Structure 1
Amino acid sequence: METLYRTFIIFVAGYLFLRITGKKAVSQMNTIDLLYIFVLTNIISTPVETSHVWKSLVYAGIVVILYKIFLRLSLHNQLRWLLYERPIVLIRNGDIDRKGLKKAKMPLNELLSNLRVKGYTDTQNIAFAAMEETGNISVIPKSQYRPVQPNDLNLKVKKEYLPIPLIMDGQIIYHNLKYLQLNQGWLMNEVDKKGEKVENIMLATFLENGKLFIDNKEIKNHKNDPHYYNPGKGN
């Protein structure tokens, strides 16, 4: 009973410490954030340290069970708002929410950086932006600035096809061959047709038209073609 009690207290204390710290420290970890998590983990785990292997396994098992219970409780809407923070609004209808930035502990330049990563340079073009409970920034642009969708032009598009890898880093992916009901003989024949060797192939994928696309490990010399510019002195 004491083991369960001590482990529960440590688990709850660790949870509260991370909640107090905020989402940013957990989701956008830099060197300081990683150091913080490492030190905090060692501090809260000190009470359960023991030289007995089996007791250590019991403690670890209890922590896993408690974690699973928290995940199960989070599936209920009424408890979810108690266990997780609500999304923090950062931009609404083109206007930056200063209170939201302060609550999220996010400097303005960091917000702008996150927007640029997602392809947005002007806050006036954004209808809604928020820091989600995971710490990620979600952005919804105003309707006139969002990418054009096929449905906007009344276009019918075919179903998206995902190329299936058959060779990766010079190794054949046998379970994908089996899934496609193909054999190694067919694959080797296709590779030979292209004058390649399996060990020299970085990636080979099965395309929608039934053909094999091959990307070997060789990089062609493009003779100073501007389209293949490589930044730095090594260009």
Structure 2
Amino acid sequence: METFYRPLIVFIAGFLFLKVTGKKAVSQMHAFDLLYIFVLTNIISAPIEVRHLGKALTYAVMVVILYKIFIRLSLHNKLRWILYESPTVLIQNGDIDRKGLKKARMPMNELLSHLRVQGYTDTREIAMAVMEETGSISVIPKSEYRPIEPNDLHLKVKKAYLPIPLIMDGQILEHNLKYLQVDQGWLLAEVEKQGEKVNEISLATYLENGKLSIDNNDIEEHPSDPYFYKPGKDN
């Protein structure tokens, strides 16, 4: 009986603790997913410190079964709202929801950081920003700020091309040269043509037109130019 109730108590108590902690602490994972990893890791590593391999493996099996049960229960709508956090609105119609930020325990600068990651710099352009149950941030722009898509203009577009890296951090990627069926001599000639050195190149990619695009380690500075503002204190 102890083999059953001990893992159950640990699992439920841990789940409640994570729920109290909030979505931010379990970003990208559901609370019981994260708990499952933590508990299972601790149980499996226990025999290294104490010689109870059989008991540890039994507990691990129980935790796996409990996790499977939680996953199955989460498929039912009535229980889903108990097991999962509700989405938290952070911005609505361009207005920042301070109650939502407080509930998500998210400072303003972190919200702005999440918006920048998704390509938005002005909160007024956002129709809705929501912290999902996994802790990730979903951003929906207002219709007038939504990027125009080819379907909006009834345009047909050509197939997307992925630039192929040939040099990364000063190292030549031989396997990509082989894939493209070009030799190292061609690559070195192209690098020299652009006045660069292989060991000073951050990234060199093979473009659709057969040319080489090079990004070296140099960064052009633009002091006091508001269009080149860098977030943080290193301005």
TM category, shorter: 0.5 to 0.7
Deviation at 1:142, TM superposition (A): 2.5
Closer, same or farther: CA 228–14 of 1 in aligned 2, 3 Å: same
In 1, the alpha carbon distance for the partners of 2:228 and 2:99 equals 44
* In structure 1, C-alpha distance between the alignment counterparts of 2:70 and 2:181, rounded to whole Å: 39
1:73–1:172 Cα change, 3 Å: farther
Q: How does 1:29-44 map to 2 (within 5 A)?
A: none
Q: Offset at 1:190?
A: 3.3
The answer (yes or no) to whether the contact 2:112–2:121 under 8 Å persists in 1 is no
Give the % identical residues.
Answer: 56
Distance 1:198 1:63, change over 3 A: farther
AA in 2 matched with 1:171: Q
Unmatched segments (≥5 aa) in structure 2: 29-33
Secondary structure of the residue that 1:138 maps to in structure 2?
strand
1:82-161 matches, within 5 Å, as 82-93=82-93, 100=100, 103-105=103-105, 109=108, 113=112, 117=116, 118-122=120-124, 125-161=125-161
Amino acid aligned to 2:211: K
Provide the TM-score with structure 2 as the length reference.
0.62
Answer yes or no: is 1:165 the counterpart of 2:199.
no
Q: How does 1:20-59 map to 2 (within 5 A)?
A: 20-27=20-27, 49=46, 51-52=49-50, 55=53, 58=57
Distance in structure 2 (CA, Å) of the matches to 1:115 and 1:95 = 16
> Aligned equivalents of 2:219 and 2:112: distance in 1?
35
Structure 1 residue 200: deviation in Å? 2.8
Q: Tell me, in whole angstroms, the C-alpha distance in 1 between the residues paired with 2:128 and 2:227.
A: 37
Report the equivalent of 2:12: 12
Query: CA 1:185–1:120 in structure 2 vs 1: closer, same or farther (change >3 Å)?
Result: same
Secondary structure in 2 matching 1:161? coil
Unaligned runs of 5+ in 1: 29-36
Relative distance call for 1:114 and 1:211 in structure 2 (3 A) is: closer
Query: Per-residue deviation at 1:166?
Result: 1.3
Per-residue deviation, 1:132: 0.8
**Distance verdict in 2 for CA 1:66–1:180, change over 3 Å:** farther
Which deviates more, 153-162 or 196-205?
Answer: 153-162
Cα deviation per residue 1:135-194 (whole Å; 9 max; x = unaligned)? 233222332333344443444433332211111111122333343344444434433444
Pair 97,175 (structure 1): closer, same or farther in 2 beyond 3 Å = same
Asked if the contact 1:206–1:213 (Cα under 8 Å) also holds between the matched residues in 2, the reply is yes
Give the Cα–Cα distance (whole angstroms) in 1 for the partners of residues 56 and 184 of structure 2.
45
Quick one: distance in 2 between partners of 1:186 and 1:64?
57
Q: From the superposition, tell whether residues 226 and 90 of structure 1 become closer, same or farther in structure 2 (CA, over 3 Å).
A: closer
TM-score normalised by L of structure 1:
0.62
How many residue pairs match? The answer is 217
Give the alignment of 1:181-192 within 5 angstroms. Answer: 181-192=181-192
